[in-house]
Amino acid sequence: MTTRTTPCATCPFRKDSKRGELGGSPAHVFIGQAFGKFYIPCHTHIDYTNPNWRHDVSVPQCAGAGMFRKKINPRPIDWGVIDCKDDPNGMTFDTPFEFMFHHEVSMTRNEVLFFLSQSPPHILHWHELNRAGAYAIKQ
């Protein structure tokens, strides 16, 4: 697996990205996946005509997601093959609130704050794990 070194010009994790342009997924899906060990490919390298595009790990990882991920995770995580990157130029959003408020154009500031108070990133991550078919094993 490779990773881009900088976010592409249309990366949804960039602060200067076009508002609301997330390719059909709501902002909370991106937040939930970025909070944990989801492989997030760069959208400019995906062949969406390939029915198995979700499983193609030859596509470079999203640099913007890696930068956002490093900012929003409060604890160090053994990421394995998932990349976390520094954002020395401050190109990507700093918080889940900033990301969601930028992209959920129909929501007010207070609605985004309320949503995230009811569904913080660790809960959104859990929802994404469940949606992907993952489950916890009790020890």
Confidence tier at 37 by pLDDT (50, 70, 90) = confident
Residues of the chain with pLDDT > 90: what percent?
Answer: 49
The residue type of 62 is: C
Across the chain, what does the average pLDDT equal? 87
Domain boundary assignment for the chain: 27-131
pLDDT at 78 over 70: no
pLDDT at 139 over 60: no
pLDDT value of position 77: 65
Confidence tier at 36 by pLDDT (50, 70, 90) = confident
pLDDT at 136 over 70: no
pLDDT at 79 over 70: no
Nearest residue to 127 (alpha-carbon basis) of 35, 49, 52, 47: 35
Nearest residue to 42 (alpha-carbon basis) of 79, 80, 16, 3: 3
pLDDT at 81 over 80: no
**Residues paired with residue 61 on neighbouring β-strands, in sequence order:** 3, 41
pLDDT at 49 over 60: yes
- Phi and psi, residue 92, nearest 5°: -105, 160
